[in-house]
Structure 1
Amino acid sequence: MVDYDYIDPNDLEVKELTYPLVHLVSQKGLLETDVSDGEVVRNGEQYVMREILRTRGNDDIYIVVADTNSPELPAVSTQRPVTDEYSPVTTVNYPNFVEKYVKENLDSALPLQETRNYFFHKVSDHHREVGAPANSLVELFDYENAPPQSPVWEPLYYFVEHDLQTILEKYTERIRETLRSWLERGDVQKIANEMDAMLTRCEYQVEQLDEQRKQNTVLYE
């Protein structure tokens, strides 16, 4: 895995982009996600993709990670997929890529038909390695039994470090909304409650979150 800088497709200055560039988008997102250029709201990231394809140089590497090998842009062409309209374009079928990567590199106990989210499989792999519950998403987010070095703690630190200024009573809903973007299906409410309960216990303080992780060390000695 590699580090990356996230770029919001809204108000995007296409001419200021640097390469290599990876565009993670679904076919539905290309057609339905509203995107604003600062003045006009357009329906679908296809307009962003079109501008990138038109302005990039011949040597600029542009990789499209999607749920199809042949993304279609009706706003650009009603007849052919983008891989035929523009060249060269590298497409990566995300579901197939993740499935192959998980099988070859992780020992996850989660069924791939349940989720293709790499983070969840990474957590399951770690839990399995140390003998922690690893067979379901709800088990992974059981912070009473989570190993101290588990990646499952990372989302809690994210909420503490990035959401301190929000209204605390709305944390469960905020977490639930975030989880919906991570999960194809599953026990969103149960996981959100587990995360919210641990954040409340730690009073949204990094130091107390660190201490809670240390207390779980005795479970895996």
Structure 2
Amino acid sequence: MELVLRRDRSGALMGTGTKCMVIAQDKLRRLKIPRLTLFAFALAACAGPALAQDNTVNVNGTITVNTCNLSTPDVQVDMGQVGIAVIDGVGVGSPIADFTPLSIDMVCERGANVRITLQDASNPGSTLPYIGLRPGGGVATGVGIQLARAGDGSIVPLGPSATWVAGTNLPAGNFSIAMRAHYYRTSSATSAGAANAGALFGVEYF
């Protein structure tokens, strides 16, 4: 509100556009009120009610998860030929010398967190500690393929709920989930033949 003071016919000061009246100057002089105080009285007398307005601050944004792009969507592993005699007994894998390295490679954004799930392609619901051989004619019996982590040699869990963290807060660039595969004896009765298998893997980012 703009305050404009003017004299009325009685010599008093009035604020135009308001309903207030200020004490006449001659009376104020007799009271010896300073000019600054007079001005303050005028403001106090002529001030109208304060105006308030409610507004909203809108904030828009999106939270994203840092991800990776697979460099090798399909991983090929050549296990070669392994004699059944090198696998000592049921529940035992082939010796370290017969491990075959493999890796799932990807390029990640900085700060990405990666977890992975592996399943038997022939039996996705299986939670056995090995991947079963693909069925068919001329297939070996009594063996499967087991996967282990390359770092500590621990067995990779299998199954739809067997998710494990492969890396956290990764730097930007290449990242590999390194593993190794070996044949695993599942039965005392064995026979030679083709020993091919497949695993399904899913990669999640969190």
Report the TM range for the smaller structure's normalisation.
Answer: under 0.3
Relative to the length of structure 2, the TM-score reads: 0.20
In terms of fraction of residues, the more strand-rich structure is 2
Higher relative contact order (CA 8 A, sep 6+): 2
In terms of fraction of residues, the more helix-rich structure is 1
Q: Which of structures 1 and 2 has the bigger CA Rg?
A: 2
Relative to the length of structure 1, the TM-score reads: 0.19
